[in-house]
Chain A
Amino acid sequence: MIDPVILERLREMVRGRTGQLLDSSRAHGIETRLGAVARREGFASLDALMSALPAQGVDSLGWRVIEALLPGDTEFFRHREQFALLKDQLLPALAKARGRVRLWSAGCATGQEAYSLAVTAAEAHAPGIEILATDISEQAVQKARSGLYTQFEVQRGLSARRVLEWFEKDGEMWRAEPQLRGAVRFERANLLDPPPAGPFDMILCRNVLGDMEPERRLRVLESLSGVLASDGVLITAPSEPILAPGAPFRLVAGRRGVFVKAAPAERQVA
C-alpha cells in the first residue's frame, strides 16, 4: 500500500500540472507504475524516487512520474458509434462544405484515436482532411508517431480487415502504413497551456475532461472554444459530464458527446 502522504503529494502534482483528479479508482496500481519509472530512472526504491522529486515545481523527472500516473488506456475506434457518425455524416458534410477540414485529437494518448480518425476519413472518401493530435505525455506522443503497436493493441477495436489494410507486420509488432502515419501530425501539448493555432472544424477531446477539476475544465473548454470554428463540433466521450453553468458549448440534441458552441444566452442555463 502506498504511503498516504506520498499519494497526496502525487495527487497534488498531477492536479497542479494537468488539472486531472486522481481519485482512488484511478490511483489503483500506482505503485506498480511508479516502480517501473523508478527502475527505468535508476532509483533503488519508490521512496528514493520521491525524494529526488523537487519540493516545488516539476522537472523532467516529475513529468515522467506524472505521465506514469495518467490513464493511458485507449483503443482503436473507441466508442464506435461516434466513428459511425463521423464516417456517415460529419466528415462527408465537412469535406463537402470546405476545401480543407482541420481536426484536432486533443488528448490522443498513444495515437489510436487519431489513426482511427484517419482511417475513417479515408473510408468516408472525405478529401482534404488534416489531423493534428496532441497529448500531454511525451512518451505517448513518441509511441503514437512510431505507429508501432503490439498484437494486443491492434486487435482492440480494429477488424482483421482493417489491420491488414492499414498496418504491416514488423516482427512481433504491427506498424501503421506510411500513408496512415503521414495523415496525422503528433505534437506534445498540455491542454492547460495556450492551444495550437486554429481554427479547427472539429475537436475530439474524449475521456480527458470528465476527470478534470471543474474550474480547469471550464478553462480548457474556453480554450477549445477559442480555436473551434464558429460552426465547428466538439466531441467528448458519450457520457462524459462536461456541461456546467458558463460552459461555452451545448449538447446537440439526440447525440451523446457531440457539442456545438453555445450562444452567450445559452451559457448561463447549462
Chain B
Amino acid sequence: MARCLIVDDSRIIRKVARRIVENLGYEVDEAADGAEALAYCAALMPTAVLLDWNMPVMDGLTFLRRLRADPDGAKVKVIFCSVENQPERIREALGAGADDYVMKPFDGDIITSKFAEVGLA
C-alpha cells in the first residue's frame, strides 16, 4: 500500500489530515517536526508527504531541501500545507521542490484535489 507521511506539529491537524488521506487509500504515518520526518524518510521513504511549514526543531522548508538533496527523496511527492498564504511564500516552497501547496485551512475536497493534481489519487 502507498504510504503518506503527515508532518505537522499540531496533533489535531495530523488527526484531521490522517482521516482524509486514509480515505484516499494511503497508509499514514505521522511526524511532529522536520527532523523527525527526515529520520522517518531515512528508514522508510514514503510515496507522499503532507508538510507543514512552521514547526519547532526543523521547519518544513529545511526538511524539504534536505529531502530533495537525497537521491531517494527526489521522487517523493511533497505537498506543502501551511497557513502561509502569501504568493511569495508559496513560490519559495515550490522553488524548493514542493509539488503543490495547500493553504490552510483545508478540507477533504482540497486535499483530494491536490493529490489528484500531483498524480497521486
Q: A80-B116, A156-B110, A159-B117 are in contact. Are A151 and B103 (CB under 8 A)?
A: yes
B63 at the interface (CB under 8 A from A): no
Q: Which of B8-16, B65-73, B85-93 makes up part of the contact surface?
A: B85-93
- Asked if residues A155 and B94 are in contact (CB atoms below 8 Å), the reply is no
Residues in A40-85 with C-beta less than 8 Å from chain B:
75, 80
Tally the A-B contacts, defined by beta carbons under 8 Å: 38
Interface 0/1 of B46-58, CB less than 8 Å to A: 0000000000000
Interface residues on B, range: 20 to 34
- Taking CB atoms, residues of chain B closer than 8 Å to A164 are 87, 90-91, 94
B107 at the interface (CB under 8 A from A): yes
Q: How far is the CA of A159 from the CA of B115 in the complex (A)?
A: 10
- Taking CB atoms, residues of chain A closer than 8 Å to B117 are 159
Q: How far is the CA of A155 from the CA of B107 in the complex (A)?
A: 10
A-B pairs with beta carbons under 8 Å apart, 28 shown: A75-B109, A75-B113, A80-B116, A151-B85, A151-B103, A152-B107, A152-B110, A155-B103, A155-B110, A155-B114, A156-B109, A156-B113, A157-B113, A159-B100, A159-B114, A159-B117, A160-B90, A160-B98, A160-B100, A163-B90, A164-B87, A164-B90, A164-B91, A164-B94, A168-B87, A169-B85, A169-B86, A169-B87
- Chain B interface (Cβ < 8 Å from any Cβ of A): 85-87, 90-91, 94, 98, 100-103, 106-107, 109-110, 113-114, 116-118
